[in-house]
Amino acid sequence: MVKLENVGYQIGKQWLVRNINVTIENGALWGLVGPNGAGKSTLLRLISGELLPTTGEVRIFGKPIQSYPPKELARIRAYLQQKRDINFPFTSLEVALFGRHPYLNGTKETVDDVSIAKGALQRVEANMFEERLYPTLSGGEASRVDVARILTQAPDLFLLDEPTNHLDPRYQVRILNLCKTICSRGKTVITAIHDLNLASMCADQLLLLKDGVSVASGPPQTVLTLELLSEVYNIPFDVLPHPDGHLWVMPTVDLS
**Confidence tier at 86 by pLDDT (50, 70, 90):** confident
Instruction: Report pLDDT digits (tens) over 42-85.
Output: 999 999 999 999 999 999 999 999 999 999 999 999 999 987 77
Report domain extents, the chain.
1-61+157-170+185-256
Instruction: Report pLDDT digits (tens) over 124-171.
Output: 999 999 999 999 999 999 999 999 999 999 999 999 999 998 899 999
Q: DSSP for the chain?
A: -EEEEEEEEEETTEEEEEEEEEEE-TT-EEEEE-STTSSHHHHHHHHHTSS--SEEEEEETTEEGGGS-HHHHHHHEEEE-S-----S--BHHHHHHGGGGGGTTTSPP-HHHHHHHHHHHHHTT-GGGTTSBGGGS-HHHHHHHHHHHHHHH--SEEEEESTTTT--HHHHHHHHHHHHHHHHTT-EEEEE-S-HHHHHHH-SEEEEEETTEEEEEE-HHHHS-HHHHHHHHSS-EEEEE-TTSSEEEEE-----
- Strand-by-strand arrangement of the 157-161 sheet: 77-80, 157-161, 188-192, 29-33, 205-210, 213-218
> Which string of b and e fits 79-95 if b means at least 16 CB within 10 Å?
bbbeebebeeebbbbbb
Q: What is the pLDDT of residue 82?
A: 81
Q: What is the pLDDT of residue 255?
A: 64
Q: DSSP for 166-199?
A: T--HHHHHHHHHHHHHHHHTT-EEEEE-S-HHHH
Between residues 13 and 85, which one has the greater pLDDT? Answer: 13
The CATH number of the domain covering residues in 1-61+157-170+185-256: 3.40.50.300
| Cα angle value 182/126/161 (rounded, 5°) | 50
* Mean pLDDT of the residues in the chain: 94
Q: What is the pLDDT of residue 189?
A: 98
Instruction: Report pLDDT digits (tens) over 192-248.
Output: 999 999 999 999 999 999 999 999 999 999 999 999 999 999 999 999 988 888 899
Q: What is the pLDDT of residue 193?
A: 95
Instruction: Report pLDDT digits (tens) over 94-117.
Output: 999 999 999 998 788 899 999 999
State how far the alpha carbon of 28 is from the alpha carbons of 113, 154, 189, in Å: 27, 17, 6
Q: What is the pLDDT of residue 162?
A: 93
CA separation for the pair 54, 7 (Å, rounded) = 7
The answer to whether residue 87 scores a pLDDT higher than 90 is no
State how far the alpha carbon of 40 is from the alpha carbons of 129, 149, 215, 217, 219, in Å: 31, 22, 13, 13, 18
**Confidence tier at 253 by pLDDT (50, 70, 90):** confident
Q: What is the pLDDT of residue 256?
A: 59
Q: What is the pLDDT of residue 252?
A: 86
